[in-house]
Amino acid sequence: MSARIQDDQRDTDLADAPLDAALRRVWDTPRGVWGALATVDHKVIGRRYIATAFVFLAFGGVLALLMRWQLARPESRVLTPDLYNQIFTVHGTSMMFLFAVPVMEAMAVYLVPLMVGTRNIAFPRLNAFSYWMYLVGGILLWGAFLVDMGPDIGWFAYVPLAGPQYGAGKRVDIWAQMITFTEISALAVAVEIVVTVLKQRAPGMSLDRIPLFVWAMLVTSFIIIMAMPAVMVASTALILDRLVGTHFFNPAEGGDVLLWQHLFWFFGHPEVYIIFLPAVGMISSILPTFVRRPIFGYLPLVLAMVSVGILSFGLWVHHMFTTGLPRLGESFFTASSMAIALPSGIQIFCWLATIWYGRPVYRTPFLFILAFFFTFIMGGMTGVMVASVPLDTQLHDSYFVVAHFHYVLVGGAVFPLLGGVYYWFPKFTGRMMSERVGKWVAGLLFAAFNFTFFPMHVLGLLGMPRRVYTYQLDMGWGGLNLFVSLSAVVLAAGFLLFFYDAVRSARHGEPAGDNPWGAATLEWATASPPPSYNFARLPVVRSANPLWEDDGVLPVAGGLRVDRRELLVTTVGGALPEARESSPRPTIWPLWSALATTALLLGSILTPWAVVWGAVPVTIALIGWFWPGGRKEEES
Amino acid sequence: MDRVGGWKDGVVLAVVLPALVLLGGCRLEDRETRPDPPVAQALGQVALMPNGIGGSPPEVYAALGRPYRESAFHLSQGKRLYEWFGCQACHADGQGGSGPSLIDGWWNYGPDLPTLYTTIHDGRPGGMPAFRDRMTRDQIWQLAAYVQAMGAYTGSLAAPGRSDRPQTRPAENRLPAASAPLR
């Protein structure tokens, strides 16, 4: 019975227990430090990604509290002006580039392969590389901040403030290079997800049976692939301007300062949807479980996500209404900004209909979705307000805008994300988070969030500009600011409670079964936490809610080799099996490549020659990465 | 996976946290936008030789860590002050005009910081006005440091950024003045 695994052994010939043993032998990450550094398992990397992103969320939250401490009273002297500038920049940069985008991609890195029923993400080594790059980028930003070298130019780093004349020292270079790190990691993950979704779906998972979170991540990944190059060009041009004296943004030599804003927001506005669409996907995937019925309007939801993805590239100028652009252009972008409310509205109504026709079960993830509804719709409404040029001219750069984008980002992305964490936590760890604590977290966060950010609308209407380190007593903003600061403490307490619950539940939570929520999608068809090979036998999908059909009995596909890492490649449209494809084993080279790339990028802050000499170790590391090792996976 | 942490977490924390605190003590790009009044007061105590050339900077200057010449921030503040207070009217962009050149390597009163400070603070015979009533003391230090950097013979890690306007001479962050072509 202890069948020796021969060459070309197929899973069809094995019973469950020997199959598990055989798959573990080829798929398990080796133990020890080497194994931890070399792993290419999408679940390990995804977990790391998520944990790291939440650490950056906590750090960014501490900075927010510092800002609120400073602003609680007029003429306060808690922070110096220079430190305040660094703090709001690092807060914004950290939240956008080190938390919001990576955490959404991280959820996808973990969940998408499980949801489409495959054994690993496409390009697993690139996945490992992307995590290391992301980690180094985060350490770069925060390390610089700790030694008083944090960027102080705002998270969108407008020139000329960020240019050579006004941005003295190395602070801006650190910001721009941090962007490079996060760009590389985000692009890498986006490519992996696109390929995983298009080519590695379980047999039978045709386009109309893909879980909505996976659809959302597919659209998001395409947005990333098309939007990130704009900011890559922008930040590289900024570094060149500062380091080697090019004049991309210098009007005196034929450059253009507005070029920066166009390039940045051509990325920056799709960025909002890069953060929001995954949240849309999470809601669409979580909601059916808690109202006990399939999602209402699958097709309109998918089409809405795709059209949001397309429209998101036609809105960027609404960030620049006060730069003196021609009126006609501004009208066009007002219209397109309001147009995107249509697909967003379709999504909202599909969800409402799903709830309406369902039987809601008020568990924590569902509560977060309810919190999302109220908060995000508020943010959407103020979004329609600032999309109109006359109003925006009044409100630009005021606290109204601060309130607006926190409503959109926290309401539209963080609440669904936290709901998602509560929902998928049993899958990540095999243990449930506390329902009792979870309800407190949801309630505290929702109430405190609104108490913190709603008054900022009023402060903005009263004329308080954003990014001021203090204000005078006779401006009359003191009372509201104090209230906001006190509410921020409660908000922080809510997050603290969440972190406490997550850490406690990871070790002592109630054990969860494979499918504690009775959900319909494939990630719940395997153990919690899933084994290294995800599915012992690859599932075959016959509907959009596979676990709700046929009493949850899944047909499986066989015929894969078990003596090497192997997965199934299927067609793009109908997910018909095409080929067996090998999947790479763990290797340390992505780490070396990331370190070599880091040396190059950091060195280039100091001297352009770092690009020349730094290319040598990068080349060596890449050669090592691709050097054939005679493993079974490398047979054709 | 179940036994993550335990004493290992403790060790990591015990190493990482103090390291972070120590790191936080470093001030690589400290930027004091407005010094405390006693410090500002003390910044004026330059001890100059009787002939008005050469001397020692105030004690507080060393206590502050000699910030002005070694900080890109102070140097670029000095550069802005150079324009704001009309230095270009006589000295152009350093090439000189009705006033002497600042980048030809020749200093009428010597290139050390206390001398430059005194020159700006008190003025010099021959047309150099006194700025003691127009600028704060730390602004004068910033300007003096910039003027010194402009004509320095040796390169420095700290330099003000290049201006966003057509260049009339090599930018300050390129090469030391001695090896730069004049005009």
Q: Could you state, in order of their start, the residue ranges of all structural domains in chain B? A: 37-154
Q: Which residue of A has its CA nearest to B35?
A: A80
Give me the pLDDT at residue B24, please. Answer: 61
Give me the pLDDT at residue B21, please. Answer: 67
Distance in Å, alpha carbon of B49 to nearest chain A alpha carbon: 34
- Give CA separation, A233 vs A159, A237, A260, B12, in Å: 14, 6, 10, 39
How many CA atoms lie less than 13 Å away from B163 in the CB half-sphere?
16
Report CB contact under 8 Å: A252, B31: no
Residue in B27, B160, B164 nearest the CB of A168 = B160
Please report residues of B whose CB lies closer than 8 A to that of A28: none
Q: Beta strand pairing status for B55-56 and A556-557?
A: unpaired
Distance in Å, alpha carbon of A510 to nearest chain B alpha carbon: 14
Residue in A148, A245, A529 nearest the CB of B171 = A245
The Cα angle at residue A108 between residues A103 and A113, in degrees rounded to 5: 155
d(CA B123, CA A528): 79
DSSP three-state, residue A569: strand
Report CB contact under 8 Å: A147, B28: yes
d(CA A603, CA A610): 5
Supply the Cα-derived Rg of chain A in whole angstroms.
25
Give me the pLDDT at residue B181, please. Answer: 44
Check residue A431 and report its DSSP letter. Answer: B
Give me the pLDDT at residue A185, please. Answer: 96
Q: Judging by beta carbons within 10 Å of its beta carbon (0-12, 13-18, 19+), is residue A475 exposed, middle or buried?
A: middle
Please report residues of B whose CB lies closer than 8 A to that of A165: 76, 161-164
Cα A478 vs. chain centroid, distance in angstroms?
A: 36
Residues of chain A predicted below pLDDT 70? 1-6, 636
Of A466-470, B30-34, B123-127, give the lowest mean pLDDT range. Answer: B30-34
Check residue B104 and report its DSSP letter. Answer: S
Q: What is the pLDDT of residues A40-80, one digit of tens each?
A: 999 999 999 999 999 999 999 999 999 999 999 999 999 99
Structural contact between residues A599 and A140, judged by C-beta atoms closer than 8 angstroms: no
Name the pLDDT band for B47 (thresholds 50, 70, 90): confident
d(CA A227, CA A202): 29
Residue in B33, B163, B173 nearest the CB of A82 = B33
The reply to whether omega before B181 is within 30° of 0 (cis) is: no
Please report residues of A whose CB lies closer than 8 A to that of B76: 165-166, 168
Torsion angle of the four alpha carbons A403, A404, A409, A410, in this order, in degrees rounded to the nearest 10: 40
Distance in Å, alpha carbon of A566 to nearest chain B alpha carbon: 25
For chains A and B, count residue pairs whose Cβ atoms are closer than 8 Å.
67
Q: Quick one: fold of B37-154?
A: Cytochrome Bc1 Complex; Chain D, domain 2 (1.10.760)
d(CA A309, CA A379): 19
Please report residues of A whose CB lies closer than 8 A to that of B71: 169
Name the pLDDT band for B25 (thresholds 50, 70, 90): low
Give me the pLDDT at residue B4, please. Answer: 42
d(CA A370, CA A365): 9
Share of chain B above pLDDT 90, in %: 27
Q: Chain A residues with CB-CB distance to B under 8 A?
A: 80-82, 143, 146-149, 160, 163-171, 242, 245, 250-253, 507, 529
Give me the pLDDT at residue B7, please. Answer: 55
Give me the pLDDT at residue B23, please. Answer: 66
B19: pLDDT strictly greater than 80: no
Give me the pLDDT at residue B180, please. Answer: 45
For CA atoms B107, B109, B113, B118, give the dihedral sign.
Answer: negative
Of A504-508, B14-18, B49-53, B105-109, give the lowest mean pLDDT range. Answer: B14-18
Please report residues of B whose CB lies closer than 8 A to that of A149: 28-29
d(CA A631, CA A288): 44
Report CB contact under 8 Å: B24, A146: yes
d(CA A446, CA A415): 9
Please report residues of A whose CB lies closer than 8 A to that of B160: 168
